[in-house]
Amino acid sequence: MQTKKSIGKKILSANEECAIKNSRILSERKKLCLNMISSPGSGKTTILHRTISELKGKIRIGVIEGDIQTDLDAEKIRKTGAPAIQINTNGACHLSAAQVSRALKQLPLDDLDLIFIENVGNLVCPSAFELGETGKVAVLSVAEGDDKPAKYPAIFARAKALLINKIDMLQTGGRVDFDIERVKRDVCKLNKTIEIFPISAKTGEGMRNWYDWLLKSTKDILS
């Protein structure tokens, strides 16, 4: 009988094979692809909405939206004019490389510089499933607490960038206790090269540094 561990390995390997194919397609066509991972409600969709709107005319962005059910997020993204493909996982807690492969075929890749994958809201499982992305972007809202990198290290160890979102909440009379310096310290212990951007997708604070990083990263892919 197979052990739980060996079963897990087999499923992961099938996924990884497909991820390698996605990665090849994306790098041959020189597209930046970022896999956004966070808990539900950290603000991924709002970040994407604002990013797409403000970078219009500078980077052409498409989105793959992963949700357990509903297409609320893809609808929100389409309002910006960007193409968005909704994937419903029907209960599964993460996107698979095969799902992303099908979505990539539906996107007008020739007309895009950057593809965001908004993964299912879950800080744990999606970090273990490669999708063929160029890099992972973790999102943590200050409302979730500053102990999260210590308690859920996997995604913080693997991400190229971390967006600390909803920093506008830190200014509301001290109702949110969140020590950004503690998060930076804990994350840097796990990951020496990660870029950390404290932002508010609601007010726009700090978003300029994130945009500059995206502009630079799309240029690096082309060169």
The residue ranges that bind a copy of itself (CB under 8 A) are 2, 4, 7, 11, 39-42, 67-70, 72, 91, 93, 120-125, 141, 143-145, 147-148, 150-154, 166, 168-169, 172-173, 175-176, 202
CA distances from 70 to 75, 95, 131, 203, 208 (A): 10, 15, 21, 27, 31
- Cβ proximity to a copy of itself: between 48 and 114 the closer is 48
- Cβ proximity to a copy of itself: between 7 and 20 the closer is 7
- Cβ proximity to a copy of itself: between 113 and 118 the closer is 118
First to last CA, the chain: 50
Instruction: Report residue 29: phi and psi, to 5°.
Output: -95, 5
Name the minimum Å distance from CB 29 to a copy of itself: 30
Name the minimum Å distance from CB 166 to a copy of itself: 7
Name the minimum Å distance from CB 213 to a copy of itself: 25
Q: How would you classify residue 194: left for phi > 0, otherwise alpha for psi between -120 and 50, otherwise beta?
A: beta
- Cβ proximity to a copy of itself: between 60 and 166 the closer is 166
Q: What is the CA radius of gyration of the chain?
A: 17
Name the minimum Å distance from CB 82 to a copy of itself: 20
Q: Which of 143, 139, 140, 141 is nearest to 175 (CA)?
A: 143
